C-alpha cells in the first residue's frame, strides 16, 4: 500500500471512543488502542476501497458493458474532483435533489443498465452495495481537503434543506428520539462516544465531512447512507429506504450547515 | 389518540405559531408548505423492519409540538404540557416506590430493546447510563442528562423525592416540557416493577449511588 498522509485527527476523544463498558475495561481498552495505533501507522484502510473504487469507475460493467466515466456528479460528465463537497444537489435529468449514492444509482442504471431498485434493495456490504462503498470512498477522496459548498440556489435544494431541518427535529418512536436528541447540543456524549452538535457549522463539517469512513470496530467502509441508517436504528425508527428522500434531505441539511466551516476528510477512519 | 403524520406535523406548526416563533422571516404559508412536504417525505421514506413498524412515525400531540425546529415554548404552553403529562402518570399500584437497587443497576446499564434488531419479547433496558452519570465506579456514562451520582444523598429518600423520580421516569415531560428523556412508563418501555428497581437505585441509601 503506498503511504499517504491522512488528515485523521486522533485526539484523546477518538481514543476514548474505543473504551468499552466496565468491567473488562483495562485490557480491552489498551488492546483497542494498540490495534487502532497499528492501523494508523499503516495508513487508513479506506485506501483499499479508494483504489477499488477508481478501478470500478473505469471498468465496463453491467448489461450495457459500459463504464461510469460519463457519469455527471454535478460538475459535468466525468468530473469527479470537487463533486463530493457540492452534494446533495439538484439534477435536471432526474428532476430530483440527489446525494452521492442516489446519483450513483442513476448513473449505474442509465449508463450500465444495472437496475437501481435492485441495488437499493441490496443489504449494505453485499453485491452491488459493496461496489458502491468502493466508489463513494474514491469519489469522496477526490475532494479531500476541500470546503463544503452544498448549493441552495435551486428551489428544490432549498426545499430539501427545509425538509431536512424538520426531519432532523422530528421526534417519535417509543423513545421520542429525533436526531436532535443526540446531536442538538454542544459537548454531549452517549456513554463515552462524543456526539457532534450537527446544528452548528463546525461540528456539522466535522461530523458530516468524515463519512464515508472506515470503521475500525467492524472493519467495513460505511457510506453516509449507512451512517444515517444506523442512527435511525438507534433512534428506534422504522427502516429508512436506501436513497430515500428523508436521507437526502438530512444530508442536504447537514451539508448546507457545514458549508464553509471545515474541510472534507472523507473517507476518514472511525471507531 | 391516533393521528396521521400530516395532522400531527400541522399541529406542531400551529402550536409553534402560538408560541410566537414560527420561523424568522419566512411567511407562514411557506412554512406550512414545507411542513406538508416534510410529512410527505417522512411518509414515503421508510419501511417496516421487524418490530420497528411504520406506526412509529405517528406522533402524539406532545411529540408533534416538541418537534418544531427553533422551538420556543412560552411559560403557559410549557405548564399545559407538564400538567397534561402529570395527569397521565400511573402511580405504583401498591403505593410502594422502592424495589431492589441491584436489579435497578442492571436495568440502568442495559441499552437493549425496541430497535429493528430486537425481538418483540426482548427485555428492554433503561438506557440510563447512556445519558447520565449514576454510580461512582461506572466511568462509561453519557452526558445528555445531568449527573445523578449521590442523588438520594442530595435530595433525601423522602416521599416527595420518590414521587418526583417516579414521575420523571414515567413521563419526564411532567416536570420539564419537551424533555430529551424518554417516557419510560407512559410509552411502555419499562413496567412498574422495573421502575421501582430504578427508583431504588437512585434513592436507596445502600445503593452505590449514595453509599459510595
Interface contact A165-B56, CB threshold 8 A: no
pLDDT tens for residues B74-127? 899 999 999 999 999 999 999 999 999 999 999 999 999 999 999 988 789 999
Confidence of residue A19 (pLDDT cuts 50, 70, 90): very low
A143 phi and psi angles, rounded to 5 deg: -115, 15
Q: Which residues of A touch B45 (CB under 8 A)?
A: 240-241, 244-247
Predicted TM-score (pTM) of this structure: 0.89
Q: Using the Cα atoms of residue B120, residue B131, residue A180 and residue A74 in order, give the sign of their dihedral.
A: negative
pLDDT score recorded for residue A71 = 98
Taking the C-alpha atoms of residue B118 and residue A233, their distance in angstroms, rounded to an integer, is 10
In chain A, beta strands by DSSP E: 89-91, 96-98, 188-190, 193-195, 213-215, 220-222, 239-240, 268-270
Does residue B186 or residue A43 have the better pLDDT?
Answer: B186
Q: Look at residues A270, A232, A254 and name the one whose alpha carbon lies nearest to residue A99.
A: A254
Determine contact: A166 vs chain B, CB below 8 A. Answer: yes
Domain of residue A145 covers: 24-270
- What is the reported pLDDT for A8? 35
* pLDDT for residue B72: 85
Lowest mean pLDDT among A42-51, A233-242, B14-23, B118-127: B14-23
pLDDT grade for A86, boundaries at 50, 70 and 90: very high
Distance to chain B for A235, nearest Cα, Å: 8
Query: How far lies A112's CA from each of A125, A189, A225, B131, in Å?
Result: 20, 44, 22, 48
Same domain flag for B187 and B129: yes
Mean pLDDT per 10-residue run, chain B (212 residues)?
43 41 70 96 97 96 93 91 97 95 97 93 91 94 96 95 98 97 97 97 96 84
Residue range(s) defining the domain that contains residue B26: 5-75
Q: Select the residue from B138, B180, B186 to test the A interface by mutation, using most A Cβ atoms within 10 A.
A: B180
Distance from CA of A76 to the nearest CA of B (A): 28
Count of the separate structural domains present in chain A: 1
Q: Is A72 helix (H, G, I), strand (E, B) or coil?
A: strand
- Helix pair angle (A155-169, A245-258), 10° resolution: 100
User: pLDDT (tens digit, 9 = 90+) per residue, A139-189?
Assistant: 999 999 999 999 999 999 999 999 999 999 999 999 999 999 999 999 999
Q: Which residue of B has its CA nearest to A169?
A: B67
Output the nine-digit C-alpha cell for B183: 417516557
Q: Are residues B71 and B110 in the same domain?
A: no
Q: Looking at the predicted structure, is the pLDDT value of residue A218 above 70?
A: yes
ipTM of the complex: 0.91
> Is A3 inside a domain boundary?
no
- Say which CATH number the domain at B141 has: 1.10.760.10
Is A246:A240 a contact under the CB 8 Å cutoff? yes
Q: Is residue B115 located within the same domain as residue B169? A: yes
Decide if B46 and A246 are in contact by the 8 Å CB cutoff: yes
CB contact under 8 A, A175 and B56: no
Question: In this structure, are B70 and B111 located in the same domain?
Answer: no
pLDDT at B71: 80
Residues of A labelled catalytic? 231
The reply to whether B13 falls in a domain is yes
A246 and A160 Cβ atoms separated by less than 8 Å: no
For residues B173 and B110, state if they share a domain: yes
B57 and B110 in a common domain: no
Q: Is A32 contained in some domain? A: yes
Domain count, chain B: 2
Identify all chain A residues contacting B42, using CB atoms and an 8 Å cutoff: 167, 170, 246
Output the domain CATH number for residue A70.
1.10.760.10
Q: Do B69 and A169 touch (CB under 8 A)?
A: yes
Amino acid at each position: 500500500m503506498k503511504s499517504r498522509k491522512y488528515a485523521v485527527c486522533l485526539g484523546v476523544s477518538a481514543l476514548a471512543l474505543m473504551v468499552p463498558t466496565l468491567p473488562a475495561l483495562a485490557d480491552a481498552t489498551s488492546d483497542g488502542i494498540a490495534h487502532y495505533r497499528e492501523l494508523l501507522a499503516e495508513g487508513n484502510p479506506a485506501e483499499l476501497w479508494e483504489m477499488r473504487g477508481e478501478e470500478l469507475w473505469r471498468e465496463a460493467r453491467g448489461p450495457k458493458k459500459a463504464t461510469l466515466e460519463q457519469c455527471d456528479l454535478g460538475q459535468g460528465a466525468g468530473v469527479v474532483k470537487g463533486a463530493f463537497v457540492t452534494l446533495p444537489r439538484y439534477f435536471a435529468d432526474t428532476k430530483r435533489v440527489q446525494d452521492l449514492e442516489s446519483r450513483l444509482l442513476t448513473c449505474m442504471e442509465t449508463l450500465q443498465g444495472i437496475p437501481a431498485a435492485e441495488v437499493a434493495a441490496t443489504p449494505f456490504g453485499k453485491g452491488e452495495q459493496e461496489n458502491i462503498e468502493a466508489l463513494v470512498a474514491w469519489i469522496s477522496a477526490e475532494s479531500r481537503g476541500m470546503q463544503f459548498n452544498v448549493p441552495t440556489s435551486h428551489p428544490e435544494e432549498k426545499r430539501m434543506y427545509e425538509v431536512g431541518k424538520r426531519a432532523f427535529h422530528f421526534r417519535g418512536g417509543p423513545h421520542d428520539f429525533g436526531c436532535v436528541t443526540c446531536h442538538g447540543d454542544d459537548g454531549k456524549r452517549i456513554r463515552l462516544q462524543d456526539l457532534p452538535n450537527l446544528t452548528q457549522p463546525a461540528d456539522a463539517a466535522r461530523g458530516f465531512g468524515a463519512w464515508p469512513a472506515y470503521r475500525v470496530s467492524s472493519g467495513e467502509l460505511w457510506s453516509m447512507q449507512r451512517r444515517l441508517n444506523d442512527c435511525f436504528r438507534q433512534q428506534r425508527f422504522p427502516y429508512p429506504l436506501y436513497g430515500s428522500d428523508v436521507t437526502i434531505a438530512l444530508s442536504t441539511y447537514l451539508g448546507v450547515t457545514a458549508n464553509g466551516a471545515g474541510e472534507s476528510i472523507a473517507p476518514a477512519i472511525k471507531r | 389518540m391516533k393521528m396521521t403524520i400530516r395532522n400531527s406535523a400541522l399541529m406542531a406548526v400551529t402550536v409553534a405559531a402560538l408560541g410566537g416563533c414560527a420561523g424568522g422571516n419566512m411567511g407562514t404559508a411557506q412554512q406550512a408548505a414545507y411542513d406538508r412536504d416534510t410529512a410527505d417525505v417522512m411518509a414515503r421514506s421508510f419501511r417496516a423492519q421487524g418490530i420497528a413498524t411504520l406506526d412509529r412515525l405517528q406522533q402524539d400531540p406532545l411529540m408533534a409540538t416538541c418537534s418544531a425546529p427553533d422551538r420556543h415554548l412560552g411559560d403557559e404552553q410549557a405548564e399545559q404540557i407538564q400538567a397534561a403529562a402529570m395527569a397521565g402518570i400511573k402511580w405504583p399500584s401498591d403505593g410502594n416506590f422502592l424495589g431492589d437497587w441491584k436489579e435497578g443497576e442492571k436495568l440502568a446499564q442495559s441499552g437493549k430493546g425496541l430497535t429493528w434488531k430486537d425481538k418483540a419479547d426482548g427485555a428492554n433496558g433503561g438506557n440510563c447510563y447512556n445519558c447520565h452519570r449514576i454510580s461512582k465506579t461506572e466511568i462509561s456514562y453519557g452526558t445528555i442528562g445531568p449527573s445523578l451520582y449521590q442523588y438520594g444523598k442530595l435530595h433525601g429518600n423522602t416521599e416527595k423525592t420518590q414521587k418526583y423520580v417516579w414521575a420523571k421516569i414515567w413521563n419526564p415531560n411532567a416536570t420539564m416540557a419537551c424533555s430529551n428523556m424518554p417516557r419510560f412508563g407512559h410509552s411502555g418501555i419499562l413496567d412498574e416493577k422495573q421502575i421501582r428497581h430504578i427508583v431504588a437505585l437512585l434513592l436507596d441509601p445502600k445503593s452505590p449511588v449514595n453509599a459510595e
